[in-house]
Structure 1
């Protein structure tokens, strides 16, 4: 299942039932899990760990050196989980020595054509990166986040679970869980991702609690400190609001408001 024109480094570890297409290059210290399918003309550099049953399309470039001027060849890695779809011309770089040393991609993500994920990013599970979306270094993406086409995030931004980042939206601030961002004034909150939550089985009570928290944070005219105080009360009755509050506690950048 490995095409004769593929170049596989002798130190690479290839699992069972792995398919590797024509002219693909698998470098040193690359591990590829069982059942993964890799198309033609893919380049995978190590150290890189790829899990089970991933689908990697032609011309993707994974595990390349980080695009960071401070990088001096230190040992860093890329770790990719299971069942991810990685489409044409995707680029995902390894980490940096002073940024934790690791870029991490979770499970069941859809990473579509021309997406770029830079060094030291942490991606959760079940996310969607639409065509031409991009992350700078050290960005954290929660589970079920959707990045629409041509959207992007500045380095060190955090995007909470179930957030929706609209087409062309460029983020320079942290985005709490469940929030929808629109392409206005470098990214503006425009409500919660209610349609996405319904598709994932959130009931009316849960969505209502999230909407109330959004109004507290964005529409009540409160300072961030006062909004957090009210959210701490609402969190007593809602795990989802508690997740929003915990995100605010972890936020190190300004908050998108």
Structure 2
């Protein structure tokens, strides 16, 4: 189960059934849960904690130093990864820049080849990052999001649940929940396919569409659109759009139409 060329620190915690490939490295302070597979030449470092049944691909690096000028390598920070995640070849996940803090990956995420998750990002569950997706630091992602290949995402932005961002997009503002974003900070539509696949009924989908139009397509100033929206009753699912509009990151939220 463990290739003889693998290097595993005696101060690492590795479950009995973990598979570790040739020349992989598991550093001190790291923990690898049951059922995990660590590919050849992968490197798990920086106090990274992996849950169960994670598949770490060839040459992936989890827990390396954040790419932040002035970072002190002695800072005790880490990465926390949940269960059932797949990191394909050469994926990189950097640890937090803050002592005692972590970059966090939830459960059932699929990070395709050469995608990058920078320091202090927080990813929810069931997200897909296609090849070469680049997440800057401090990004917050919800659940069941698809990010197209080659997309670049500026630090501190938020990406709402059930959103989709098309390939090669350049995003430096928040992506609302349920939305499709593309190109240079442009909104295209509601992600209807994702809503149907997730089991949202027709009434809820209609609510989301109507609220999306009011907040992001009406041409009304966003604060006024939020005030108008709050005069009506909405389902919990639709209300997520209002919350995203009311509490954006410092970068603001996308409104430009494609």
Assess if the C-alpha contact under 8 Å between 1:71 and 1:97 holds in 2.
no
Q: Which moved more, 1:85-94 or 1:197-206?
A: 197-206
Assess if the C-alpha contact under 8 Å between 2:8 and 2:27 holds in 1.
yes
Q: Is 1:208 equivalent to 2:206 in the alignment?
A: yes
Q: Secondary structure at the match of 1:233?
A: coil
Deviation of 1:16 (Å): 3.0
Assess if the C-alpha contact under 8 Å between 2:95 and 2:102 holds in 1.
yes
Q: Is 1:80 equivalent to 2:78 in the alignment?
A: no
- So what's the TM-score if we normalise by structure 1? 0.95
Distance across 1 between alignment mates of 2:138 and 2:192 = 28
Deviation of 1:94 (Å): 0.2
User: Counterpart in 2 of 1:175?
Assistant: 175
Q: 2:248 aligns with which of 227, 247, 251?
A: 251
Assess if the C-alpha contact under 8 Å between 2:204 and 2:238 holds in 1.
no
Distance across 2 between alignment mates of 1:32 and 1:91 = 17
Give the gaps of 5 or more residues in structure 1: none
Q: What does residue range 111-190 of structure 1 map to in structure 2 within 5 Å?
A: 111-183=111-183, 186-190=184-188
User: Counterpart in 2 of 1:198?
Assistant: 196
User: Counterpart in 2 of 1:237?
Assistant: 234
- C-alpha offsets along residues 2-41 of structure 1, whole Å, 9 cap, x if unaligned? 1111000110000131110111011110000001111111
Deviation of 1:176 (Å): 1.2
Q: Which moved more, 1:105-114 or 1:236-245?
A: 236-245
Q: Secondary structure at the match of 1:71?
A: coil
What count of residue pairs does the alignment treat as equivalent?
253
Assess if the C-alpha contact under 8 Å between 1:232 and 1:242 holds in 2.
no
Q: Secondary structure at the match of 1:75?
A: coil
Distance across 2 between alignment mates of 1:83 and 1:233 = 42
Query: CA RMSD, aligned part only?
Result: 1.2
Assess if the C-alpha contact under 8 Å between 2:226 and 2:246 holds in 1.
no
Runs of 4+ in 1 over 4 A off after TM superposition: none
Q: Is 1:44 equivalent to 2:44 in the alignment?
A: yes
- So what's the TM-score if we normalise by structure 2? 0.95
- C-alpha offsets along residues 16-73 of structure 1, whole Å, 9 cap, x if unaligned? 3111011101111000000111111101112110000011111101110111013112
- C-alpha offsets along residues 56-103 of structure 1, whole Å, 9 cap, x if unaligned? 1111011101110131121111000000010001000000027x7210
Distance across 1 between alignment mates of 2:231 and 2:40 = 55
Give the gaps of 5 or more residues in structure 2: none
Distance across 2 between alignment mates of 1:177 and 1:70 = 34
Distance across 2 between alignment mates of 1:95 and 1:111 = 19
Assess if the C-alpha contact under 8 Å between 1:231 and 1:241 holds in 2.
no
